[in-house]
A and B are shown apart, each in its own frame.
Chain A
Amino acid sequence: MIESVKDRVVRIVAEQALLAPSDVSLDQTLEDLSIDSMALVEAIFAIEEEFDITVPFNANEPDKSEFDISSVATIVAAVEALIAEQKD
């Protein structure tokens, strides 16, 4: 079975949170998962490598980024949008 985008993002987020993927739920925020700014930047790097996409994200203004990091679900949605956008 091919791993879905959601499962792959959850796996990356879980790794940074030092949790098992099954312990990460979509409605959780990065704060809930104790992911700090360094772990976030590492997670974004891992996402870029995993999906071969470029994620627009500046750590100085995380709220202004088009890449919505307010929860695991928004990250999954943002990654799906970037994959569609950057496919060709």
Chain B
Amino acid sequence: MRRVVITGAGTINPLGHSVAATFEAMREGRCGIGPLDIRDVDRLSIKIGGQVKDYAADDRFNRQQQALYDRFTQFTMIAAKEAIEQSGLEFADDLSAEAGVVLGTSGGGLTTQDENYRAVYEEGKNRVHPFIVPKLMNNAAASHVSMTWNLKGPSFTVATACASSNHAMGQAFWLVRNGAARAMITGGSESMLCFGGVKAWEGLRVMSRDACRPFSANRNGMVQGEGAGVFVFEEYEHAKARGANILCEIVGFSMTADASDIVMPSQQGASRAIAGALRDARIDASEVEYINAHGTGTAANDKTECAAVANVFGRHADKVMISSTKSMHGHLIGGTGAVELLAVVMALKDGIVAPTIGYQEPDPECALDVVPNEAREAKVKYALSNAFAFGGLNAVLALKKI
């Protein structure tokens, strides 16, 4: 089995348009959630979200590209460029054939669907642009990354709702570890902050109208976000031989299914995924200092997740730090695990643990060290990143300082 390291990271999300800007916001505990600026917002009852701000597609992409890049693909391309440039990799010849791209998304080109349904149903148009299908398909982002950077190895898209990115990164990790690829571009992207996207979530009645406050007793729901996170996963010897700057190592991954309810999470399913990641990494729970929580800010998730961590970590649960950065960037659904992995990279590489902001009242059912409101300096050797999706599909990654 080969060792797998991260040699590049890129992002655009509500906290910033780069990894450096995101790290700075996470260190400062800044909130990227605010009033939604979208068409027909007055007809929504949920009017807040974590939007990518100060962004104009025209500044980044030409007309031909915009005809093919939905907003989720645009975010992916921006994040992929940053990650691949940081890695210093150039994909030619053998490496091109042995490198691929696995990305997570839940809604794919939902904004494109929303705009075009509006055109044909509301506005009564009988014609849409010829590229709507290749623009809205869930694998559009993965395919454009593959085409732009000449990645000819295993490439596909994973859709497991809120766990999409973690499932994608887990696949990329295993592909490199098993020798099926030497490098993988991986992560995820989401852009659901359009009228139809928010309206659908409103229906579930799990959304907060004011803020995302994970683990706080007065939490009242989740807040949607948008954006992308992309990483370069590379085989360790390959990275070392070329003198690459290694950010951290991926050491374990596990996925489980609750097989119980389409929306309510299960403590056992989550526990099994966490324990599985530790087992895959061959580490003991007592070695883990930080967990990036799924931490959605809903009553159901936070209680279940804390119970699962307490169950797996036993007495060590009181010593482990567990924070939810969704409090700052919102829930990026299919892209969330990728942006949250940045908090793990920051903890391992810089020794700074991102906080759970908006924390106001302790909840006895979430009685763990949630790193409330302020970032913390800490030496972290091992960390986990949790994702638990609607549909009961769970995916947990384990990472190590290098």
24 A-B pairs (CB sep. < 8 Å): A37-B264, A38-B262, A38-B263, A38-B264, A41-B204, A41-B205, A45-B203, A57-B205, A58-B205, A58-B206, A58-B207, A58-B208, A58-B221, A59-B204, A59-B205, A59-B206, A59-B221, A59-B299, A60-B206, A60-B219, A60-B220, A60-B299, A60-B300, A61-B220
B-contact bits for A29-46, CB 8 A (1 contact / 0 none) = 000000001100100110
Which 6 pairs between the two chains have the least Cβ-Cβ distance?
A: A60-B299, A60-B221, A59-B205, A60-B220, A59-B206, A41-B205
| A41→B207 CA distance, assembly (Å) | 13
Give the interface residue-count category, chain B: 10 to 19
| A41→B264 CA distance, assembly (Å) | 13
| A39→B49 CA distance, assembly (Å) | 27
In contact, B263 and A61 (Cβ under 8 angstroms): no
Given A37-B264, A38-B263, does the pair A61, B299 have CB atoms closer than 8 Å?
yes
Q: Which secondary structure dominates where chain B touches chain A?
A: loop
A-contact bits for B253-270, CB 8 A (1 contact / 0 none) = 000000000111000000
| A12→B99 CA distance, assembly (Å) | 55
**B111: Cβ under 8 A from any A Cβ:** no
In contact, B208 and A60 (Cβ under 8 angstroms): yes
Chain B residues, CB < 8 A from A64: 220
Number of A-B contacts (CB under 8 A): 35
Q: Which of B36-67 contact A (CB under 8 A)?
A: 45
**B11: Cβ under 8 A from any A Cβ:** no
| A57→B202 CA distance, assembly (Å) | 11
Q: Which of B262-321 contact A (CB under 8 A)?
A: 262-264, 298-300
Q: Which of B185-216 contact A (CB under 8 A)?
A: 203-209
Chain A residues, CB < 8 A from B263: 38
Which of B205, B219, B299 contacts A44, CB < 8 Å?
Answer: B205
Chain B nearest CB from A35 CB (Å) reads: 14
Chain B nearest CB from A5 CB (Å) reads: 22
Chain B residues, CB < 8 A from A59: 204-206, 221, 298-299
Chain A residues, CB < 8 A from B262: 38
Chain B residues, CB < 8 A from A57: 205
Chain A residues, CB < 8 A from B208: 58, 60
Chain A nearest CB from B215 CB (Å) reads: 13
Chain B nearest CB from A7 CB (Å) reads: 25
Chain A nearest CB from B117 CB (Å) reads: 21
| A18→B293 CA distance, assembly (Å) | 38
Chain A residues, CB < 8 A from B264: 37-38
Given A37-B264, A38-B263, does the pair A60, B298 have CB atoms closer than 8 Å?
yes
**Residue of B at shortest CB range from A41?**
B205
Chain A residues, CB < 8 A from B219: 60
Given contacts A58-B220, A59-B298, 7 further A-B contacts (CB under 8 A): A38-B263, A38-B264, A45-B203, A58-B206, A60-B208, A60-B221, A60-B298
